[in-house]
Every structure is written in C-alpha cells, then in structure tokens.
Amino acid sequence: MCKVLKLARSGYYAWVKRKTSPRTQENDILSDQIREIHQASRQSYGSPRIHASLVAKGFQVGRQRVVRLMAKLGICARHKRKFKATTDSEHDLPIAQNVLSRDFTTTEPDRAWVADITYIWTSEGWLY
C-alpha cells in the first residue's frame, strides 16, 4: 500500500502509533454526553437545548460544534405533532336518524348494516 501511495513505511507506522489529538478526544467525550442528553430527553432535544445542557454541565462548547457532532452521530430532535381537530359537529347539515339504537341483533341476514365514518382530505376540504 505504501508503494502505491508513494509513502515511506516509517511515516505509516508513525501515523498508526500516534495518539489521537486533544480535539478528537474532546469530541469523543462530547459525543457521549450528547447521546446521553438526547436519550434522557426521550429524543426530543435539538441542538439548542443540548448545547444549553452541556454548558450547564460545565463544558465550553459552541452551538455549531454541537450541531456538527449531532449530524455526525445521526441525532436529531423528534417533533411532536400538533393536535388537529378533524370533526366539525357544529354544522347545519342533515343528520341521519339512529334507527338501530345500538341494537345490532337481527332476525334475518342483510337487515342491518353498520359502518364507521371515514374522512379523507381533498383539495376542497375534508370529505366524510
């Protein structure tokens, strides 16, 4: 491999034996802390909150570094969906009568049919 890359063998072995840089060691420690904070928050914290937590723990770190490490680790905040009401019961449309009155027993087949209301979003709004 050294011949192909035109490198000295001694340079390769020096690189293999070399200790990791202080910056890499700090990034490893920060990465562990970021994972821990993210898991403790049930994966809901993003970079601003994780950065604030790290600063509160005494780490001197910038937010962009936290963003970069989170991206490298594949960590992102999980967003909670907003509640959206899909039923509008305050309307003047006709409502069908409840003929069965929750009595679903019949004497003959094919006398009472029941179903659930389904709604689908269209360009005109919700269709029920």
pLDDT digit string, tens, across residues 43-68: 999 999 999 999 999 999 999 999 99
Q: Measured between alpha carbons, how far is 37 from 30 in angstroms, rounded to an integer? A: 10
For 122, the enclosing helix (H) or strand (E) is strand 120-122
pLDDT for the residue 85: 79
Q: Quote the pTM value.
A: 0.58
**Cα 75 vs. chain centroid, distance in angstroms?**
9
Map out the domains of the chain as residue ranges. 9-73
User: Above 80 in pLDDT, residue 117?
Assistant: no
pLDDT digit string, tens, across residues 70-116: 999 999 998 888 888 777 778 888 888 888 888 888 888 888 887 77
